[in-house]
Chains A and B, each alone.
Chain A
Amino acid sequence: MSTRVRLGVLQAAAPLLAIAFGAVVASGIILAIGKDPLEVYGLMLRFNLTRSDSVAAIFLKATPLTFAGLAVALSFRANLWNIGVEGQYAVGAFAAALVAFGVRGLPAPIHLPLAVLAGVAGGAAWALLPIALKLRRGAHEVITSIMMNYIAAALVLFLLADVFRDPTQAGTPRVRTPLFEDSARIPLLRPVLQLVGIGVPDHSALNWFLPLGVVLCLGAAYVLARTRFGYEVRAVALNPDAAETAGIRIARTQFYMFLASGAVAGLVGLSDVLGFFGYFDIDFPKGLGFLGISVALLARNDPIGVVPAALLLAFLDRGAQGVQVFSGVPREVITILQAVIILAIVVGYELVTRYVRAQRKREAESAVSGPSDVSVERGG
């Protein structure tokens, strides 16, 4: 087996090993509470794979995770840390909601895209300050974007509770915006899937944002791999000094990537608000931004890897529900499992990367001093 193939196999195996390691840790916990891990995992697989409502729920749950993972991955690709997806998607979803209930009388083909664009604009707007301050004033984007998360939460709560609260709900404990216009709702996938013979449970909210997320990931992968801008991004990430010498404007590249990250983040909440709820309320899902970090890490910041990574997390999440209901194992075990998998994966990737680098270095050195027929791989 050539070195190249061997290293490739090693890199591909890293996530699987990490999942196995996470499963071992979770098994310890499951054993500690007096249950049989194999039985629990078996139950999880059966619950997830043999029920059509589970399969639909996994894909639905993976939808926002795909956008969140892609958003984080895009920033990571440019050596930036967008920890602010959490705030960006809250602002984006609220902006979309504003258009969805505030603008009336538009036909759906105009209203829905307008609402989606408002989400994109909201997310990008919330990313603007951290990146501008980073590039202009050297303020670290991690802390500024975390602070922006809190500001976003307060702002959205204020707008929701004090400015745009549905007047018909006054006097009730329900804090939500007015109902959206039908023309701003995301159509469901069920009718189309039924046409091609795939049955989807009646109550499933699986919608067109899932294919949109996949298309966006493919598009991002294409841009990064095949376009001039993508080349610049890769150059900046690999070696900023060399990139600068080659005439690439680092700041500009980073600026656009961070804004793109925020724009994608603006789409995270839309499957829920425009696709499912039909209003924005105080129980709007939170924490998807942080899950997006997990997705991006699992995917190794590869846009194409984001989709399976989102599906894996969604799979675990759905499985946790089944396990909780049918075997009494608290679903928090799965949360712990997720965190352990992520930790194992980042450690695993780090070790593999280091090993690969050392191997290549050794090869390069032996190529210089040793026999001339050893092929020299390009360093990474």
Chain B
Amino acid sequence: MELLAALLNMALLASAVRLTVPILLTALGAVYSERGGVVNIGLEGIMIMGTFFGASVTHLVATALPVPGAEAGATHAIAPVAGMLAAMAAGVLFSLVHAVVAVTFRVNQIISGVVLNMLAVGLARFLNILFFGVATQSPGISGFEPWSVPVLRDVPALAPIATGISPVIPSALVLLGLGHWVLLRTVFGLRLRAVGEHPLAADTLGINVAAMRYAGVLISGALAGLAGGYLSIEQGRGYLEGMTQGRGFIALAAMIFGNWWPLGALGASALFGYFDALSLRVVHTRIPYQFITVLPHIATIFVLAGFMRRAVPPAADGIPYTKEEA
């Protein structure tokens, strides 16, 4: 009982929710990219760009726009908004490289993604030196005004989970619902899935395969960038090198675990977020925390190997499409 109570502790669940959000956003992005037939191993690098540009633009806007009449250190509410938008824009621009290399030049998508991850590390360090004079850290920033659920916040037992909510968390849920609807119910979603399943057939129907694939990759860039922005603006209160901690890969795993669908990605991300929160809390117990941190990775291997459920990727996922030139 004591163990069960510890595992369902409200503070733990609240922390699990917070840790789920970046994984979920990135995994949702990956669903768009892979449903369109492009594997995006570069998500980690895109997230890194998001963390860096999110924090640095928030900082720049906050210093450029001091709040008149307020005490020193108060930040204009526009700063984190600008930061989030910058994080998304950086994600889109960075994923554009992947789209150009993998879709237009038809270079192997895995190579392209791996290089993107390398590039992100170098670029973030370089720009950080340029902006802030040090390689690995930005100045501290403040994020959004946290929000509380009106009635629930007064219930002591629920307080940890009903208070201090970042507006990004409900936004992530909206984006998730939107993703589900777009992919399953709209013409765009149908076309995107068509170029991921059978690009030749889609091409025959007059769908622009390259354009759809670009769209999938760029949406994944926007979402992974947003996830990065959330990490640095809302959680880290600043950029710190390595703060993504491989979450781009975990998100990829969550997407696979969720069988390449938004709702599946939600379930898997929640599971991974929970493990993540748990691993932060067992430091003081007798279980070495390394064992908890690797659980999501082990689970992913199991899923991929079909020991839990068959993993069914889109048929043309990862295969460059070559239009037959007559």
Which residues of A come within 8 Å of B, CB atoms? Answer: 29, 33, 81, 83, 129, 133, 136-140, 142-144, 146-148, 150-151, 154-155, 157-158, 162, 290, 293-294, 297, 330, 332-333, 335-336, 338-340, 342-343, 346-347, 350-351
Contacts and interface: CB of A to CB of B under 8 A. Distances in A.
Residue with the greatest number of chain A CB neighbours at <10 A, chosen from B126, B246, B298: B126
B132 interface: no
Interface string B227-250: 000000000000000000010010
A343 B119 CA distance: 10
B74 interface: no
User: At the interface, is chain A mostly helix, strand, loop or mixed?
Assistant: helix
B301 A144 contact: yes
B3 to A, nearest CB: 22
Contacts of A150: 246, 249, 293-294, 297
A139 B97 CA distance: 28
Interface string B120-131: 011101100110
Given A150-B297, A350-B106, A335 B121 contact: yes
B294 A335 contact: no
B104 to A, nearest CB: 9
A158 B126 CA distance: 33
Contacts of A83: 41, 110, 114
B305 interface: yes
27 contacts: A83-B41, A83-B114, A129-B301, A137-B305, A137-B307, A139-B301, A142-B39, A146-B41, A147-B253, A150-B246, A151-B297, A151-B298, A290-B114, A293-B111, A294-B118, A332-B125, A333-B122, A336-B119, A336-B126, A343-B97, A343-B101, A343-B119, A346-B107, A346-B112, A347-B105, A350-B105, A351-B105
Given A150-B246, A297-B111, A342-B115, A133 B297 contact: no
A336 B122 contact: yes
Nearest to A142: B110
A144 B311 CA distance: 13
B296 to A, nearest CB: 9
Given A154-B293, A336-B126, 15 more contacts: A29-B126, A33-B130, A138-B306, A139-B311, A150-B294, A155-B290, A290-B117, A297-B111, A330-B130, A333-B122, A335-B118, A336-B122, A339-B118, A347-B105, A351-B105
Nearest to B256: A143
Interface string B260-298: 000000000000000000000000000010110110011
Interface in B111-168: 111-112, 114-115, 117-119, 121-123, 125-126, 129-130, 135
Nearest 9 A/B pairs, CB to CB: A335-B122, A332-B126, A339-B119, A139-B304, A154-B290, A147-B297, A332-B125, A137-B305, A139-B305
B110 to A, nearest CB: 6
Given A339-B118, A343-B101, A158 B291 contact: yes
Task: Count chain B CB atoms within 10 A of each CB in A137, A151, A157, A339 and give the residue with the most.
Answer: A339
User: Which residue among B106, B114, B117, B311 has the maximum number of chain A CB atoms within 10 Å of its CB?
Assistant: B114
B276 to A, nearest CB: 12
A330 B117 CA distance: 19
Contact of A336 (B111, B123, B249, B291): B123
Contacts of B108: 346
A333 B300 CA distance: 36
B106 A343 contact: no
Given A154-B290, A297-B111, A332-B126, A142 B41 contact: yes
Contacts of A290: 114, 117-118
A7 B246 CA distance: 42
A293 B113 CA distance: 12
B56 to A, nearest CB: 15
A294 B116 CA distance: 12
A139 B290 CA distance: 24
Contacts of B135: 330, 332
B28 interface: no
A180 to B, nearest CB: 24
